[in-house]
A and B are shown apart, each in its own frame.
Chain A
Amino acid sequence: MNTLLEGGEQLERELTPEPVVGPAVGSFVLHGALAGSLVFYALVAGLFHHNSWGDSGAGGSIQVSLVSTAIPLPSDQPPNQNVLATDTPSQAPVQPAPKAKQAVEDTAIPILGKHKKPQPIATAKSQQQPVQNNRAQYGEQAGSQMTRATQTGPLGPTSVSDGDFGSRFGWYVTQINAKMAISWYKGEVDPRTPRGARVYLTFTIRRDGSPTDVQIDRSSGSSTLDRSCQRGVQRVDSFGNLPPAYTQSTLKVSYYCEY
């Protein structure tokens, strides 16, 4: 194309300043957007800290039920010390020196009583692969199939949490459910509330088991349902002391009431 332009035009083009404003604005907008998204993320993420499992059915919890124990889980053996674990592959072993062939003198006088075996005529076997014993070890070995203790979550789909509290102290989660089942009065809810409406609460359980900091996390849209669930938690004096083996001072709970 350029070659088609006449000389004067080309010169004019070279002399005119390059368009700086447009790309610069674009660059500013892009970087501004990047910075903005970072700030936005930090703000929003701070607000909705509960949403760690996405919006799944059971209050962000999941149930894992193993189909069979034959699933090859990754080995937890310490890494073996072979070449794949190191950056420097091992030297290939040196080719073994060929065996010194015993020289047979044709002229030697045969010893009496000792029959010499007729030497088989060596024929080249083309099909047979020569055994390579001088290869470097690349860690090609059968994956170790250790028998692993698999455990299903204790008592239903309630127990998986971000930390391992639910799996270690499933009985405590059961206790929370049992207590809430007693203290939440469904009769307080306006009967016009649609079935299946859910309100999500968050609260903190202190060491002595008392709930504190009860907050509505996601409203159900029905103020009576929201309030009844909140009252349900407030009615509980104690969920029972936190397990002694649990080292932290408080436990965060996300709980939903479904009408």
Chain B
Amino acid sequence: MKAYSRILSLFALVLAGFGWSQLQAQDWVHTGTNLGNDRIRIAAADFKPVGDDPQTPTLKAAFDATLYTDLANAGIFDLVSKSMAPPVMPGAPQEINLAQWSADPAKASMVAFGALSANSGRLVVYGWLFDTHNTVSPQVLGKQYNEEASQDMARAVAHRFADEIIYRLGGGINGIAETKIYFVSSRTGSKEIWAMDYDGQNQHAITHLGAISLSPRISPDNSRLAFASMGRDGWAIRMYSLELGRTVSFPAGTAGGSNQSPAWSADGTKIAFSSSRSGSPSIWVADASGANLHRITSFKGPDVSPTWNPRTNAQIAWVSGRTGLPQIYTMDLDGANIQRMTDGGYAISPSWSPNGQALTFSWNRKYGPGDPGGQDIYYFDIASKRWLQLTHESGSNDFPSWAPDGRHIVFERTIGGRTQIWSMLADGTQQQELTHTGNNFMPNWSWK
């Protein structure tokens, strides 16, 4: 017996000697929920002006301001305010003192810095992004830009650099700093289609038709703009080529009845719209060339405002009035598998999120006499049918449109008879007014 117990203890010793230590051949990361999910604290240093070209100071001012607002608007950063940042302008990796940026009060874990110079009509920018806690290999990003020296290009370069940072630190989702917003504006008298940068800068008219144009929708490749326009034979879907600078033909959108609310599929090959050419408004789908037109809904009651699932291109969400008040429904592209999303109230203008998981739309949950509810923007998760109210008690809100990063929503808000374009993060925070002149309606965020 004694011998066996000795053997057993030996056996145990052998096991203990091996232990459970491991040799790993590959890099592992161990992490989990509740282990820190704070926004990245990032500092945008003022760029260092190089050279004595008289253009440099103004270009630098535009660049610094744009980079700062782009990072602030990204929705994934906790930006170090300028007053807390160290009063230095490091122009190169050798000049930056990382401890200065990681210490109080800046406490930045990332810092973007670089140098900018204008030289004989060219704008040259070097930009870096450094991890302040990593003294060994701090560089996360290094970029160089060489463009024509102008205010617009200074802003464009800042947008590009900001997008690179957002792409790198935002989980591989492209930033939206270079995207555009198309909208309807009546500031010149008639309702024309206008465009602006995502931050409200650089607003300019696209169409000059002199008619009423509504619901602009930009194609996924940014080449064409579909919109509804009041013409000789009523409301028609028209197509404007941004490359040619004129309207091009779209035969499917003109044949009788009232044709409205176009929507591009994410691959840019198809357009869905509502048309009343065969009775009450129904959803029709045509190729982008206008051929191959067919109808996919046929119910009593109007069907309007289609929007594609940009992830699958195989589903459409739209507004149907078959039960009385308008509600949001989804269906497959062949008209099958119809599901009702909203459970009541007055729900209009859906927009499908880029990842295909959610809708946003305008909803008045307590619609009717004696029940004065507000028209507000909602976020709606399709799988769980749970929703989140994004706007609260501030005007009447309508026509939300997703940004391609799935983190921002642009919408129109009417307060006291004035309608303007606003944008916000998809959780309802950081709401900001983008337009201030005239009345502006029906924004549509470009795909890239």
Which residues of A in the span 131-181 have a Cβ within 8 Å of any Cβ on B?
149, 151-158, 160-168, 170-171, 173-181
- Expressed in whole angstroms, the Cα–Cα distance for A164 and B110 within the complex equals 19
Q: Which of A29, A48, A252 meets B27, CB within 8 Å?
A: A252
Residues in B with CB closer than 8 Å to A235 are: 357
User: Does A171 lie within 8 Å of B27, measured CB to CB?
Assistant: no
Q: Decide if the interface of chain A is mainly helix, strand, loop or mixed.
A: mixed
Interface residue stretch chosen among A70-78, A98-106, A237-245: A237-245
Asked whether any CB of chain A lies closer than 8 Å to the CB of B10, the reply is: yes
- The answer to whether the Cβ of A250 comes within 8 Å of any Cβ in the partner chain is yes
Residues of A within 8 A of B10 (CB): 30, 33
Specify which of A52, A250, A255 is in contact with B32 (CB 8 Å cutoff).
A255
A191 nearest CB across to chain B (Å):
14
Q: Within residues 179 to 236 of chain A, which ones have a CB less than 8 A from any CB in chain B? A: 179-181, 184-185, 187-188, 198, 209, 235
Bound-state CA distance A251–B29 (Å) is 8
A251 and B172 contact, CB distance less than 8 A = no
Complex-state Cα separation, A253 to B35, whole angstroms? 14
| Beta-carbon contact of A171 and B40 below 8 Å | yes
Q: Which of B16-47 contact A (CB under 8 A)?
A: 18, 20-22, 24, 26-38, 40
Q: Does B170 contact A (CB under 8 A)?
A: yes
Q: How far is the CA of A154 from the CA of B41 in the complex (A)?
A: 11
- In contact, B14 and A33 (Cβ under 8 angstroms): yes
A238 to B140, CA, bound (A): 18
Contact with A156, one of B33, B36, B168 (Cβ below 8 angstroms): B36
> Which single residue of chain A is at the shortest CB-CB distance from B383?
A185
Interface bits B211-241 vs A (CB < 8 Å: 1, else 0): 0000000000000000000000000000000
Known: A34-B14, A181-B33, A254-B30. A237 touches B355 (CB 8 A): yes
Query: CA of A251 to CA of B31 in the docked complex: distance in angstroms?
Result: 13
Known: A59-B30, A248-B27. A37 touches B3 (CB 8 A): no
Contact A170 B28 (CB under 8 A): no
- Contacts A163-B26, A168-B137 hold; do A58 and B169 have CB atoms under 8 A apart? no
Contact B27 A163 (CB under 8 A): yes
Residues of B within 8 A of A179 (CB): 171
A209 vs B357: C-alpha distance when bound (angstroms): 20
How many residues of A are in contact with the other chain, CB < 8 A? 74
Q: A52-B21, A185-B384 are in contact. Are A176 and B31 (CB under 8 A)?
A: yes
Interface residues of B in 338-378 (CB under 8 A from A): 355, 357
CB atoms of A253 and B137 under 8 A apart: no
> How many residues of chain B get a CB closer than 8 Å to chain A's CBs?
47
A59-B169 contact given A29-B7, A30-B7, CB 8 Å threshold:
no
Q: Which residues of B contact A163 (CB under 8 A)?
A: 24, 26-28
Whether B35 and A58, one on each chain, are in contact in the complex, defined by CB atoms closer than 8 angstroms, is yes
Inter-chain contacts of A153 with B (CB < 8 A): 133
Structural contact, A166 and B32, CB atoms closer than 8 A = no
Are the C-beta atoms of A178 and B37 separated by less than 8 Å?
Answer: yes
In the complex, what's the smallest C-beta–C-beta distance from B383 to chain A, in angstroms? 8
A85 to chain B, nearest CB (A): 28
Which listed residue (A33, A254, A258) contacts B29, Cβ 8 A?
Answer: A254
Bitwise, A7-42 to B at CB < 8 A (1) or not (0) is 000000000000000100010011001100100010
Whether B29 contacts A253 by the Cβ 8 Å rule is yes
- Within 8 Å of chain A (Cβ to Cβ): is B15? yes
What is the bound-complex CA distance between A241 and B171, given in angstroms?
8
CA distance A160 to B29 in the complex (A): 7
CA distance A241 to B357 in the complex (A): 22
Q: Which residue of A lies closest to B18 (CB)?
A: A41
Does B244 count as interface, using CB distance less than 8 angstroms? no
B133's nearest neighbour on chain A, judged by CB, is A154
Interface: B197 (CB within 8 A): no
- CB-defined interface of B80-121 with A at 8 Å, one 1/0 digit per residue? 000000000000000000000000000001100000000000
Q: Which residues of B contact A198 (CB under 8 A)?
A: 32
Q: Which residues of chain A are near B34, meaning CB under 8 Å?
A: 258
Q: Is A64 an interface residue (CB 8 A)?
A: no
Is residue B292 within 8 Å, beta carbon to beta carbon, of the partner chain? no
Q: Are B131 and A252 in contact (CB under 8 A)?
A: no
Which one of A167, A177, A241 has the highest number of Cβ atoms from chain B below 10 Å of its Cβ?
A177
> How far apart are A64's CB and chain B's nearest CB, in angstroms?
13
Q: Does B134 contact A (CB under 8 A)?
A: yes
Q: Is the CB of A240 within 8 A of B134?
A: no
Most chain A beta-carbon contacts within 10 A, residue among B26, B76, B168: B26
- Residues of chain A contacted by B109 (CB below 8 angstroms): 154-155, 170-171
Q: Using known A-B contacts A26-B7, A178-B76, determine if residue A258 contacts B32 with beta carbons closer than 8 Å.
A: yes
Interface centre among B3, B30, B36, B109 (most CB of A within 10 A): B30
**In the complex, are the beta carbons of B11 and A33 less than 8 A apart?**
yes
Q: How far is the CA of A240 from the CA of B11 in the complex (A)?
A: 48
A118 at the interface (CB under 8 A from B): no
**Considering the chains assembled together, what is the distance between the CA atoms of A101 and B109 in angstroms?**
73
Are A151 and B135 in contact, with the CB atoms below 8 A? Answer: yes
Q: When chains A and B are docked, how far (Å) is the Cα of A34 from the Cα of B134?
A: 46
CB closest residue in chain B, given A252? B28
Tell me the smallest distance from the CB of B385 to a CB of chain A, in Å: 11
Q: Is B76 in contact with A209, judged by CB distance below 8 angstroms?
A: no
Chain B interface residues (CB < 8 Å from chain A):
3-4, 7, 10-11, 14-15, 18, 20-22, 24, 26-38, 40, 76, 109-110, 131, 133-137, 140, 167-173, 355, 357, 384, 386
| 29 residue pairs bridging A and B, Cβ less than 8 Å apart | A33-B14, A34-B11, A37-B14, A37-B15, A41-B18, A50-B28, A51-B22, A52-B24, A59-B35, A154-B133, A160-B30, A161-B27, A162-B27, A173-B29, A176-B31, A177-B33, A178-B76, A180-B33, A209-B172, A235-B357, A237-B355, A238-B171, A240-B170, A246-B27, A248-B27, A251-B27, A255-B32, A256-B33, A258-B33
- A residues touching B (Cβ–Cβ < 8 Å)? 22, 26, 29-30, 33-34, 37, 41, 45, 48-54, 58-61, 149, 151-158, 160-168, 170-171, 173-181, 184-185, 187-188, 198, 209, 235, 237-241, 243, 245-246, 248, 250-258
In the complex, given contacts A156-B36, A178-B37, A240-B172, what are 15 additional A-B residue pairs having Cβ atoms less than 8 angstroms apart?
A: A52-B28, A58-B32, A59-B32, A149-B135, A158-B31, A163-B27, A165-B28, A170-B109, A171-B109, A176-B31, A177-B35, A177-B37, A180-B33, A253-B30, A254-B30
